Amino acid sequence: MNVLIINCGSSTLKFKVMETRHDTPSCHERILAGGIIDRIGGQGEIRFKTEDGEDLREVREVKDYEIASDIMFDWIESIGLMKPGGIEAVGHRVVHGGYRFVEPAIIDDEVIDAIEAMRNIAPLHNDPSLKAIRSARARLGPHFPMVAVFDTAFHCNMPESASRYAIPIELADKHRIRRYGFHGLAHRFMAERYAIITERPLKELRLVTLQLGNGCSATAIDGGRSVDTSMGFTPLEGLMMGTRSGDVDPHLPGFLARHEGVDIEEVEDWLNRRSGLLGVSGHSNDMRELLGKKSKGDLRASLAVEIFCYRAKKQIGAYFAAIGGADAVIFGGGIGENSPEVRARICAGMEWCGLALDEDINAGTIGSENRISKDSARIHVYVIPVDEEAVIVRDTVLCLHIINRHLRR
Ligand code: ADP
C-alpha cells in the first residue's frame, strides 16, 4: 500500500509517499518521494525529491497551508503518483487531539468537525493540519481513506498526579484543562526504536526521551507508556525552546501585562515567539548560530545556551525521581541529534547516578543513531534521529487494517 504522510509544523509542510510492504502494522517502508515546504507564510522554500532523484527546488511565495498543499499535490501528480496504483491512503499528523482523540481516527466529516471544535483549547495548533486535510479531501474525494494521528495521544494515559494542575478541579474540568503533552510521535519513536536496538521488551524499560528542536520537550516513559512529559496544556510549558520561554512563574503574564500596559495576548506572544533562545541571546533562536557566537565570546549567547542545558538537565533529574532511575536517556530533534556540545553540557556531572558520556563517541555522533555513553555507564545515553513519519505510516496502515477487518465481518 502506498501512503502519503502529511506533517504540518508551525511554518513547514513535510510529506513522504511511502510504500509499505504489507497492509499490516509490521510493514517495512520504502520512500518513493518526499519533501518539505519551509517558511510558509512568506517566501516558501520548496525542496521535493523522488527516490530516482527527480526533484523540484524553488523559492516562491507560499501564503498559507492550502497553497502549500496544492503545490505538493501538483508535484505528486506530475510524478505520476495520483494515478491508479499511486497513493492509496493518506495519514495526517494532527498536533492536538484534546480530550477526544486518544488513538488514530479515520477522517470523516464528524472527525473534522471534532478537530475543529478543539479550537477553544488549541486555537493555533490544528489549523495547518485542518487546511491540509481539507485540501487532500478536495483533491482525492471525501471517501478516500485518510487517517489522523495525534501528537497528544501518547500522553493521554499519564497518571492524574502528572496530568492535573493544582487549580480548582471544577474550573479544570469545566474548561478541560489538563496537561495534554505534545511531541508524542517523536517520544514514542525514540522509545520503540531503543527497544528494537537493544532487543529488550519495551514493557521492561524506563526511559527519559528528549526531543530538542525548535520546540523542546522531555518525557518519562515507563513500560512503554508516557507517565509524565514537560509540555502541558499548551506546548509553551516545560523546557526552554527556540522562541518559547518554557516554565515561568504563573504570575509573570499578569505582571507584564500590567507593567507594560499591554493586553494578555501580547504577553502570550512574547512568551511564545520572542523568548527562549531568541529572547535571552537577543540574536537568534537557532542553536547552531548561538554556539558559533558563544565560541567567539558572546555573553548573551553563552547565557542562552547555559540556561537551555541547565533546564534540560534538571528535567532529566526530575524524571529519574519520577520513574526510579532509567535504563536510558535518549536525545532526538535537530539539537539533540546534531549537537555534541549541548549533549555534553546536559549530561555533565551526572556520573553520580551512572550517567557518563564517552567524549569521543559523543563528539563523532552527528545526525546518526548511536550509543554515546561509556561502556561502563549504568545508564545508556543514545542519539536516535526521530522519524515521525514512520510512526504515522504505521498507525495509518494499522487503523485502516482494523477498520477493513471490522467491515469484512
Ligand atoms: P523543529 O522543532 O522545528 O522540527 P528541528 O528539530 O529541525 O526543529 O531543530 C532545529 C534546531 O536544531 C535549531 O535550533 C538548529 O540550530 C538546531 N541544529 C541543527 N543542526 C545543528 C547542529 N549541527 N548543531 C547545533 N544545533 C543544530
* Residue 363 confidence class, pLDDT cut points 50, 70, 90: very high
Indicate the DSSP class of residue 373. B
* pLDDT at residue 408, rounded to an integer: 73
Res. 339 pLDDT band, cuts 50 70 90: very high
pLDDT band at 218 (very low <50, low <70, confident <90, very high): very high
Which ligand 1 atom is nearest residue 211's CA?
A: 6
23 or 288: whose pLDDT is higher? 288
Mean pLDDT along residues 355-383: 98
Higher pLDDT, 197 or 407: 197
C-alpha of residue 333 to centroid of ligand 1, in Å: 7
Nearest residue to 342 (alpha-carbon basis) of 379, 286, 276, 291: 291
Atom of ligand 1 nearest to the CA of 289: 16
Test site for ligand 1: of 335, 345, 365, most ligand atoms within 8 A of the Cβ = 335
Please give the backbone phi and psi of residue 318, each rounded to the nearest 5 degrees, phi first.
-60, -40
- Dihedral-angle region of residue 183 (phi above 0 means left; psi in -120 to 50 means alpha; beta otherwise): left
For the ranges 27-31, 99-103, 324-328, 352-356, the lowest mean pLDDT is seen at 27-31
Q: Give residue 4's pLDDT.
A: 97
Q: What is the domain class of 199-383 according to CATH?
A: alpha beta
Q: Whose CA is nearest to atom 13 of ligand 1?
A: 286
Q: Dihedrals φ, ψ of 219, to 5°?
A: -135, 140
Ligand 1 pocket, residues with Cβ under 6 angstroms: 9, 213-215, 242, 286-288, 291, 333-335, 338-339
∠ CA 86-87-90 to the nearest 5 degrees? 180
Q: For 210-273, what is the HEC assignment? A: EEECCCEEEEEEECCEEEEECCCCCCCCCCCCCCCCCCCCCCHHHHHHHHHCCCHHHHHHHHHH
What Rg, from alpha-carbon coordinates, does the chain have?
21
If you take atom 23 of ligand 1, which residue's CA is the nearest one?
Answer: 338
pLDDT at 26: 54
Which atom from ligand 1 is nearest to the alpha carbon of 366? 23
**Amino acid code (one letter) for 76:** I
State the distance from the centre of ligand 1 to the C-alpha of 285, rounded, in angstroms.
Answer: 9
pLDDT in tens, 167-211: 999 999 999 999 999 999 999 999 999 999 999 999 999 999 999
Residue 339 CA to ligand 1 center (angstroms) comes to 9
Label residue 378 by pLDDT band (50, 70, 90).
Answer: very high
**Over 80: is that where the pLDDT of 21 sits?**
no
Active site residue 375: no
Q: How far apart are CA 332 and CA 316, in angstroms?
A: 14
Mean pLDDT of the chain: 95
Q: Of 52, 64, 113, 151, which residue is the catalytic one?
A: 151
Nearest to 17 by CA among 104, 70, 75, 95: 75
**Listed range (8-17, 131-140, 154-163, 269-278) with the worst mean pLDDT:** 8-17
Give the mean model confidence (pLDDT) for residues 77-99: 94
Residue 409: pLDDT above 80? no
Distance 336 CA to ligand 1 centre (A): 8
Domain ranges of the chain: 2-156, 199-383
What would the pLDDT profile of 90-129 be if each residue is shown by its tens digit?
Answer: 999 999 999 899 999 999 999 999 999 887 777 678 999 9
The alpha carbon of 167 and the centre of ligand 1 are apart by a number of angstroms equal to 35
Compute the C-alpha angle 193/312/243, nearest 5°: 100
CATH placement of domain 2-156: 3.30.420.40
Check residue 11 and give its pLDDT: 85
Ligand 1 atom at minimum distance from 215 CA = 2
Distance CA 343, CA 86 (A): 42
Pocket test for ligand 1, best of 125, 214, 240, 389 (most atoms within 8 A of CB): 214
What predicted TM-score, i.e. pTM, was given to this entire model? 0.94
Output the pLDDT for position 22: 58
* Overall average pLDDT of the 288-302 stretch: 98
**Contacts of residue 66, Cβ cutoff 8 Å, sequence gap at least 6:** 131, 134, 135
| Residue 342 alpha carbon, nearest atom of ligand 1 | 25
- Is 2-156's fold the same as 199-383's? yes
Instruction: Please say if the pLDDT value at position 226 is more than 60.
Output: yes
